[in-house]
């Protein structure tokens, strides 16, 4: 890419993960673009961000966009990752190593598969972020070294390889070269992942490009599976995940809660056969799963599988115990709660920082007494679930009250 035709503006919150080093290194700010570039007529605009990058996400088909250039591809949807994009980054990395008098790296399919999954994860979230375990699934025997990740926003006449080139140069040019980074002597293997998202805005159509680069070192002479001299020999195309339809009341709820920007993409089709005629569909974003349920008389409600309340409900047996959700998870003073129902009997799961998540059986004698006293505003949040003590059933609450039940009688102690 010819930088003479590029306006370069950078906002960076960048870090570099180094093998054996506990802290990340902040990236220095690159020099400002020359005035003649900043005012060049018709120049494309670029915004680059970078750092160090967790989990697999659907990838896009490995084929070039149809004729029509950037505008046509942007309007058609996401730009596919191709071997040309990966090769572009691969060659730039090794050119930097050559300038630092380091041996070239070889392309590794296992590292690249992981890198591609993370690039797709960032693209799905539309932001750069750290990968907490980027080395899982890599070939055995290697020594973790470095990881780079970044996001570039490109508008103007940029092809996919131009965007990859700009982002790769940015990540490599503006990070410290202190002898322990990508120019380290003992690095031997490289993994690269690229993902593009088509965009449009006031500056016209363009791309958000996400790049992940993993570096590994292996003992001299060790045979490593999936190793190739170039990506052209060993490129593993991204695997297209199946598309799932979102329909009816679940679709309405999904959009009302923010759609893909908040809940992510569907990971299942709608499935039925639940108690009380219920159906459900799951969605996932940034490692968090949300399930939307619908049943006659319940409406469509969401369970945050990842939250403390969601985990409590799952651990109790999902709809088979507490039942289907009749509310979403809602905040209350000092915590949160959600109500579930099965066979006409409601259970309220409450969470606070001091008590965790506990269940109150609203249909039981203890639950009725707690509710009559003002719920969490009266006796407080439940500290325990209901439990047996001799002939009694008890439940303790955060404001010091214990509700007892035995032989048809309910009483409270402090």
HEC string for 182-250: CCCCCCCEEEEEEEEEEECCCCCCEEEEEEEEEEEECCCCCCCCCEECCHHHHCCCCCECCCCCCCHHH
Q: Are residues 335 and 263 in the same domain?
A: yes
* Size (the chain), residues: 414
Q: Are residues 217 and 320 in the same domain?
A: no
Task: Please compute the mean of the pLDDT values over residues 298-315 and round it to a whole number.
Answer: 96
Other Cβ atoms closer than 10 A to 205: 20
Residue 67 has what pLDDT?
Answer: 25
Is residue 48 a part of any domain in this protein? no
Query: Does the pLDDT of residue 119 top 60, yes or no?
Result: yes
Residue 175 has what pLDDT?
Answer: 63
Q: Are residues 267 and 401 in the same domain?
A: yes
Q: For all residues of the chain together, what is the average pLDDT?
A: 78
Is residue 59 a part of any domain in this protein? no
Task: Please compute the mean of the pLDDT values over residues 133-159 and round it to a whole number.
Answer: 79
Q: Are residues 163 and 303 in the same domain?
A: no
Nearest to 349 by CA among 315, 299, 374, 391: 315
* Confidence category of residue 184, pLDDT binned at 50, 70, 90: confident
**With pLDDT > 70 as the criterion, what percentage of the chain qualifies?**
77
Is residue 135 a part of any domain in this protein? yes
Q: Are residues 328 and 222 in the same domain?
A: no
Is residue 398 a part of any domain in this protein? yes
Q: Are residues 215 and 346 in the same domain?
A: no
Q: Are residues 266 and 165 in the same domain?
A: no
Structural domain total, the chain: 2
Residue 122 has what pLDDT?
Answer: 84
Residue 155 has what pLDDT?
Answer: 80
Q: Are residues 262 and 220 in the same domain?
A: no
Residue 325 has what pLDDT?
Answer: 97
The CA distance from 12 to 48, in Å, is 7
The sign one gets for the Cα dihedral 265, 13, 195, 103 is negative
CB 352, CB 358: distance < 8 Å: no
Instruction: Give bridge partners of residue 207 from the DSSP assignment.
Output: 154, 198
The CA distance from 125 to 150, in Å, is 13
Pick from 2-11, 298-307, 326-335: least confident: 2-11
Q: Which two tokens stand for residue 140?
A: 């055995």
List C-alpha distances in Å: 385 to 115, 135, 212, 388, 403: 44, 40, 46, 10, 11
What secondary structure does DSSP assign to 311-349, as a single string?
A: HHHHHTTGGGTT-EESS--EEETTEEEEEEEETTEEEEE
Q: Are residues 258 and 396 in the same domain?
A: yes
Q: Are residues 273 and 192 in the same domain?
A: no
Q: Which two tokens stand for residue 271?
A: 């499935």
Is residue 53 a part of any domain in this protein? no
Query: Does the pLDDT of residue 153 top 80, yes or no?
Result: yes
Residue 302 has what pLDDT?
Answer: 97
* Confidence category of residue 179, pLDDT binned at 50, 70, 90: very low
* Confidence category of residue 158, pLDDT binned at 50, 70, 90: confident
Is residue 243 a part of any domain in this protein? no
The CA distance from 34 to 4, in Å, is 10
CATH classification of the domain holding 111? 3.40.33.10
Write down which residue in 168, 194, 228 finishes a domain: 228
- The tens digit of pLDDT for each residue in 341-389 reads 999 999 999 999 999 999 999 999 999 999 999 999 999 999 999 999 9
Question: What contacts 274, CB < 8 A, 6 or more positions away?
Answer: 280, 293, 295, 319, 324
pTM exceeding 0.85: no
Is residue 319 a part of any domain in this protein? yes
Residue 51 has what pLDDT?
Answer: 63
- The tens digit of pLDDT for each residue in 65-112 reads 222 233 333 333 456 788 999 999 999 999 988 988 888 999 999 889
Write down which residue in 228, 260, 276 finishes a domain: 228
Residue 301 has what pLDDT?
Answer: 97
**Higher pLDDT pick, 337 / 245:** 337
Other Cβ atoms closer than 10 A to 332: 14
Strands 335-342 and 324-325: antiparallel
**Higher pLDDT pick, 248 / 44:** 248
Write down which residue in 170, 196, 228 finishes a domain: 228
The CA distance from 210 to 166, in Å, is 11
Is residue 240 a part of any domain in this protein? no
Residue 120 has what pLDDT?
Answer: 83
The CA distance from 116 to 83, in Å, is 12
Q: Are residues 365 and 404 in the same domain?
A: yes
83-99 vs 160-173: helix axis angle to the nearest 10?
30
List C-alpha distances in Å: 73 to 89, 198, 200, 283: 21, 7, 11, 27
Nearest to 296 by CA among 318, 274, 266, 316: 274
Show the domain range for 271: 248-413
Q: Are residues 262 and 408 in the same domain?
A: yes
């Amino acid at each position: 890419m010819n930088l003479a035709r590029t306006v370069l503006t950078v906002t960076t919150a960048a870090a570099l993960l180094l093998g054996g080093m506990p802290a990340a290194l902040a990236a220095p700010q690159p020099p400002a673009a020359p005035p003649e570039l900043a005012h060049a007529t018709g120049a494309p605009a670029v915004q680059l961000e970078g750092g160090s990058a967790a989990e697999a996400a659907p990838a896009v088909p490995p084929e070039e966009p149809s004729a029509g250039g950037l505008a046509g591809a942007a309007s058609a949807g996401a730009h596919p990752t191709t071997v040309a994009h990966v090769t572009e980054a691969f060659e730039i990395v090794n050119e930097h190593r050559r300038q630092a008098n380091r041996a070239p790296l070889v392309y590794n399919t296992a590292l690249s598969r992981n890198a591609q999954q993370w690039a797709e994860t960032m693209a799905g979230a539309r932001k750069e972020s750290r990968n907490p375990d980027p080395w899982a699934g890599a070939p055995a025997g290697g020594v973790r070294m470095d990881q780079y990740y970044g996001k570039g926003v490109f508008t103007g006449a940029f092809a996919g390889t131009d965007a990859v080139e700009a982002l790769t140069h940015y990540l490599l040019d503006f990070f410290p070269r202190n002898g322990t980074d990508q120019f380290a002597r003992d690095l031997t293997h490289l993994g690269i992942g690229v993902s593009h998202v088509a965009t449009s805005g006031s500056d016209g159509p363009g791309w958000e490009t996400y790049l992940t680069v993993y570096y590994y070192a292996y003992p001299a002479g060790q045979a490593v599976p999936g190793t190739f001299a170039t990506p052209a020999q060993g490129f593993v195309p991204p695997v297209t995940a199946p598309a799932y339809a979102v329909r009816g009341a679940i679709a309405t709820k999904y959009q009302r809660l923010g759609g893909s920007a908040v809940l992510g993409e569907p990971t299942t089709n709608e499935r039925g056969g639940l108690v009380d005629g219920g159906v459900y569909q799951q969605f996932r974003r940034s490692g968090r799963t949300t399930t939307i349920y619908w049943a006659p008389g319940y409406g469509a409600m969401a369970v945050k599988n990842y939250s403390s309340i969601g985990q409590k409900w799952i651990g109790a047996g999902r709809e088979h115990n507490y039942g289907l959700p009749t509310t979403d998870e809602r905040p209350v003073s000092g915590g949160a709660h959600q109500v579930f129902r099965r066979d006409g009997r409601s259970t309220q799961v409450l969470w606070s920082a001091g008590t965790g998540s506990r269940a109150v059986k609203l249909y039981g004698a203890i639950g009725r007494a707690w509710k009559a006293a003002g719920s969490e505003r009266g006796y407080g949040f439940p500290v325990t679930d209901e439990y047996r003590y001799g002939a009694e059933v008890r439940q303790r609450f955060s404001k010091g009250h214990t509700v007892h039940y035995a032989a048809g009688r309910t009483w409270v102690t402090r």
